[in-house]
């Protein structure tokens, strides 16, 4: 069941790759910016690590209402 939704400010992403290293749900795309494979999550898992490590804090994880 989807319990969490990733809110990602892609404009703010600087393409540092930290999220990709921290969590396999995050992949740097051809344009140099990251993107989550899945934006709707059953479990937060390593996405929390990605959010915590992002230097520009452009990853947020919200509980689905
Ligand atoms: S850690 Fe943040 S700034 Fe770095 S690639 Fe991931 S989303 Fe972009």
Which CATH number is 48's domain given?
3.30.70.20
Nearby residues of 55 by Cβ (< 8 Å), 6 or more positions away? 14, 16, 18
Residue 19 CB less than 6 A away from ligand 1: yes
Alpha helices in the chain (DSSP H): 18-22, 47-53
63: left (phi over 0), alpha (psi -120 to 50) or beta: beta
Residue 32 CB less than 6 A away from ligand 1: no
Give 6 Cα–ligand 1 centroid separation in angstroms. 13
* Structural domain boundaries enclosing 39: 4-63
Grade residue 65 by pLDDT with cuts at 50, 70 and 90: confident
Total tally of structural domains belonging to the chain: 1
pTM: 0.95
Q: What pLDDT, on a 0 to 100 scale, did the predictor assign at position 31?
A: 98
């Amino acid at each position: 069941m989807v319990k969490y939704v990733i809110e990602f400010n892609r404009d703010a992403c600087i393409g540092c790759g930290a999220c990709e290293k921290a969590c396999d749900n995050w992949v740097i795309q051809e344009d140099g910016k990251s993107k989550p494979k899945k934006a709707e999550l059953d479990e937060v898992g390593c996405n929390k690590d990605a959010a915590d490590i992002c230097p520009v804090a452009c990853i947020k994880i919200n509980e689905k209402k």
